[in-house]
Amino acid sequence: MMRAESKNLEKAFWRLSKYIESNTIHYVENCISCGICYEICPAYHLDHKYAPAPIGEWFRRFYRRQLNPIARVLGKLAHAYPLTIENLMKAREYVYRCTNCGACYMVCAAGIDSGHLALLTKSLINDAGLTPQVLKTLNEMELKMTYLTSKVQDLYGKLIEEIKKIAGGEAHINEPDRSVYIPISVCDLVFAKDVIISTIRILEKLGITWTIPDVPVGIRPPMGYVIGDFTSYAALIRRIYLNAKELNCRIILVTDCGYMYPALRFEGPYIAEIEQPCKILSIVELLEDYAERGLLHLRKIADVATWHDPCMLMRRGGVEYPHAILEESTFFTKLKWSGKYSRCCGGGSHMFFLQEEVAKALSEVLEVDLVKMLEKDTFARKIAEFGYEMAKHRAQEIIENGPKIVITACTSCIFMLRKAISESTMPFIEVKHLAEFVAKNML
Amino acid sequence: MDLLTFVLWYLSIPTVAIFVGGMVYKVMRYALMARILVPKPEFRWREIAIRKGSFWDIGFWHWIKELIAVFLRPIIWSLRVNVLDFVGGLLMLHILGVILILFLVGTHVGIWFNYVPYLKLGIIDLTPLILLIEKIWFFLCLAVKYSTKVVALSPWSIIVIAGNAYVLALCVLAAIAYKFVDHLIKVKRGIINIRPGDFAALLLLLAVVLTGFLTAFSPITTPIPVQRLLLGLHVLFGEIFFMTLPFTKFSHFLFGYWYGKIHELYDAYAKRGV
């Protein structure tokens, strides 16, 4: 029984080997255990066991056992561990504490991305059936498109009605040859409806033609990225790329940073093995470009504002804070830990979906009891609590800076920071998406 | 045949062969595992180049600046958050210890010239550089010797004292001890990435440095067989270090570190524009 189980898990490793390339070997072999990465990791600040190098170590252990003949002979002495359910359960404790924020990559002396190793380990965990049920369900629903429930369609219908009101009666659904394609997701409908409305209001004002899909493109695509399911990851990338290609648009505009932006913009072609159909831009890049060229004018507000860098936008996406917008229209103050050294909000990767409120809101529209799944899963609840602790740390850093508004561009950052700030000593600090801020203050 | 004769005349060629074989194996794996034939995203630098006109319009110095930045960033970070590790790990172990001892102590330079003759003559000739460093060192020593008390306390004299091989060896011994204790503390804290191999590597380094230190600074009255044994042990440990280099964490010094940083420049800066 144990042997058969181990063989199946080894097969999973070989399936994954498609994504083990020279850079992965570098990440596996060249960690010198110097410990420079520890201090920047948000998980390490909560528990010293969970630093980037130990998080990446689990994949190294499995890799050594599978692909290093000397380590295989030496066994645990060389930290070569067999792929067993027991070991994967231990690995899960580590890799699910990583939000894949990429901070360790920025300071690593040897340029190692431990988040990538965590993602590969998650893939093995997923093949062993150990992924938290909530995440597994969401991923399956997204892949099979069963998320298109009547409630989701109702909500989407209502959004289209609102869009029509601001766009002169037209919703431009699947209209070809438009400039911008906005891939709206279920999470946008539930948590960021105003962001979509604001984006369309801005595009209308700037005279940019836009189109939206006839149904949401996913729950928060690609969900496969969250649990290391590369099949689903590739399928969702292909779905969005092909939609955009059919519509012959010039830009795919990502309003939710999350992991969607780097996945579509940088990882997509490698994972899905398909050419990018067009340019992929974050809403931050687009608005900043217009502001820099003097085509977007905002009124100056009297408030002190700050910018929280979403990890996926800054470190994984290379998009800096929108200087031209924020410095012109607010009394801007930079956070102590910002840019490359910005701290994660605690909602990165899977963390957002494990929050009780998120599970509750998604349960209502997806007609599946995610809350019950979460209640039964002590591991998932423990991880959710860990993520929220990270959010409280980040909220405290923001509070110390004394802003009245925190502007960012990611659904999970907004959710986590709002929750943490509302329970802090400064609950009146507003957390807003850049699109909402611009739409409100646009001249 | 004593140990020194054996390690110098019989073990040196196998050592170099194992080292070269190991490095070729390592580099070939990287080359063969590269996924080149997959579609690529639009790289951020290309976007910038298109906006500015051409690749060269981005600015050569801009690229150089970024290249330096990827190397400097971890150093600055280390200095910012963990000064002890900066001093113990980087300054004492790497810069003062390994780099200066390995490449600037006269006997070692002689060994490098012996193993890699074209360093001395031929394609790359490092002799002028070594002579220049020697000359600067000589004048610094003179300056300290003939200076007044005030000058003797100047940074010059401190550099000369710190640059003394004796002091350098003590630095590296202290740094190894620091790393050893640091690893033990991490293991005690439950940090799982510290492996027995990390301790083995430190012990090997300690053996190399300690035997070298004893050889160089043993009293002149030490009997010749003891001197030869110490030197033999030093060369033996050095050769073990050298032949296992491609398979241990020390390979970062030849390959991993440079590959990592160049990859970071490509992935984080050129591709993503971070």
Q: What is the mean pLDDT of chain A?
A: 93
CB contact under 8 A, A29 and B192: no
Chain segment A202-232, per-residue pLDDT in tens: 999 999 999 999 999 999 999 999 999 999 9
- Same structural domain for residues A329 and A419? yes
* Region A163-170 average pLDDT: 90
- Same structural domain for residues A229 and A302? no
Residue A49 has its nearest CB partner, among B70, B89, B190, at B190
Instruction: Quote the tokens at residue A22.
Output: 């020279």
Within 8 A by CB and 6+ apart from B237, the residues are: B204, B207, B208, B211
For residue B178, the chain A residue with the least C-alpha distance is: A34
Q: Where are the domains of chain B?
A: 3-250
Instruction: Quote the tokens at residue B84.
Output: 């002890």
DSSP string, A15-45: HHGGG--HHHHHHHH------TTTTT-HHHH
Q: What is the DSSP letter of A442?
A: B
Q: What is the mean pLDDT of chain B?
A: 82
For residue B273, the chain A residue with the least C-alpha distance is: A318
> How many CB atoms lie under 10 A from the CB of residue A154?
12
* Region A43-65 average pLDDT: 95
Q: What percent of chain B has pLDDT over 70?
A: 75
- Same structural domain for residues A429 and A297? yes
Residue A340 has its nearest CB partner, among B44, B186, B274, at B274
Given A261, A289, A317, the domain boundary residue is A289
- pLDDT at position A236: 96
Looking up residue A121, the CATH number of its domain turns out to be 1.10.1060.10
Residue of A62, A50, A78 lying closest to A20 (CA atoms): A62
**Cβ burial, residue B67 (10 Å; 0-12/13-18/19+):** middle
Residue of A110, A100, A112, A114 lying closest to A316 (CA atoms): A100
CB of A255 closer than 8 Å to CB of A192 = yes
Distance CA B92, CA B170 (A): 9
Most confident range, picked from A286-300, B107-121, B210-224: A286-300
Q: What is the DSSP letter of A212?
A: B
DSSP string, B177-197: HHHHHHHHHHHHTT-TT--HH
Distance CA B236, CA A415 (A): 61
Given A245, A271, A289, the domain boundary residue is A289
Given A272, A289, A306, the domain boundary residue is A289
- Same structural domain for residues A74 and A93? yes
Looking up residue A389, the CATH number of its domain turns out to be 3.40.50
Of residues A7 and A403, which shows the higher confidence score?
A: A403
Q: What is the DSSP letter of A349?
A: T
DSSP string, A141-183: HHHHTTT--HHHHHHHHHHHHHHHHHTTT---BT-TT-SEE--
Binning pLDDT at 50, 70 and 90, where does residue B140 land? low
- pLDDT at position B240: 95
Binning pLDDT at 50, 70 and 90, where does residue B39 land? confident
Number of domains chain A is built from? 3
Residue B274 has its nearest CB partner, among A30, A94, A315, at A315
Min distance B103 CA to chain A CA atoms (Å): 22
Min distance A287 CA to chain B CA atoms (Å): 17
Min distance B53 CA to chain A CA atoms (Å): 17
CB contact under 8 A, B41 and A105: no
- Same structural domain for residues A9 and A116? yes
CB contact under 8 A, A29 and B256: yes
Domain of A331, in residue numbers: 293-441
**Which of chain B's residues have a Cβ under 8 Å away from the Cβ of A94?**
192
Min distance B41 CA to chain A CA atoms (Å): 5
- Same structural domain for residues A173 and A279? yes
Distance CA A323, CA A301 (A): 15
Amino acid at B204: L
CB–CB contacts below 8 A, A to B: 148
CB contact under 8 A, B197 and A79: yes
DSSP string, chain B: --HHHHHHHTSHHHHHHHHHHHHHHHHHHHHHH---SS--PPPHHHHHHHHHSSHHHH-HHHHHHHHHHHHHHHHHHHHHH-HHHIIIIIIIIIIIIIIHHHHHSHHHHHHHHHHSGGGTSSSS--HHHHHHHHHHHHHHHHHHHTS-HHHHTSHHHHHHHHHSHHHHHHHHHHHHHHHHHHHHHHHHTT-TT--HHHHHHHHHHHHHHHHHHHHHHS-TTS-HHHHHHHHHHHHHHHHHHHHHGGGSGGGGGTTHHHHHHHHHIIIIIIIT--
- Same structural domain for residues A107 and A54? yes
* Region A133-141 average pLDDT: 97
Q: What percent of chain A has pLDDT over 70?
A: 99
For residue A105, the chain B residue with the least C-alpha distance is: B264
pTM of the model: 0.91
Distance CA A239, CA B42 (A): 19
Residue B264 has pLDDT above 90, yes or no: yes
Residue A367 has pLDDT above 90, yes or no: yes
**How many angstroms separate the Cα of B25 from the Cα of each of A75, B22, B120?**
22, 5, 28
Place of tokens 């190991």: B22
Min distance A315 CA to chain B CA atoms (Å): 6
Amino acid at B184: L
- Same structural domain for residues A57 and A143? no
**Which of chain B's residues have a Cβ under 8 Å away from the Cβ of A318?**
44, 268, 272-274
Distance CA B101, CA B238 (A): 13
* Region A411-440 average pLDDT: 94
Min distance B197 CA to chain A CA atoms (Å): 7
Residue B77 has its nearest CB partner, among A29, A107, A275, at A107
* Region B181-189 average pLDDT: 94
CB contact under 8 A, B256 and A32: yes
CB contact under 8 A, B264 and A70: no
Residue A385 has pLDDT above 70, yes or no: yes
Three-state secondary structure call for residue A431: strand
Residue B252 has its nearest CB partner, among A30, A35, A267, at A30
- Same structural domain for residues A183 and A91? no
For residue A25, the chain B residue with the least C-alpha distance is: B30
- pLDDT at position B55: 63
Half-sphere exposure for A377 (CA within 13 Å, toward CB): 23
Residue B273 has its nearest CB partner, among A106, A276, A318, at A318
**Torsions phi, psi for A442 (to 5 deg):** -70, 135
CB of A396 closer than 8 Å to CB of A424 = yes
What is the sign, positive or negative, of the torsion defined by CA atoms of A358, A364, A370, A376?
A: positive
- pLDDT at position B54: 65
Distance CA A256, CA A187 (A): 9
Chain segment A306-337, per-residue pLDDT in tens: 999 999 999 999 999 999 999 989 999 999 99
**Which of chain B's residues have a Cβ under 8 Å away from the Cβ of A36?**
74, 77-78, 82, 85
CB contact under 8 A, A110 and B77: no
- Same structural domain for residues A92 and A6? yes
Q: What is the DSSP letter of A321?
A: P
Which residue of A21, A26, A32 is the best one to mutate when testing the B interface, meaning the one whose CB has the most B CBs within 10 A? A32
- pLDDT at position A389: 96
Distance CA B237, CA B206 (A): 10
* Region A241-256 average pLDDT: 95
Distance CA B170, CA B273 (A): 43
Amino acid at A118: A
CB contact under 8 A, A30 and B260: yes
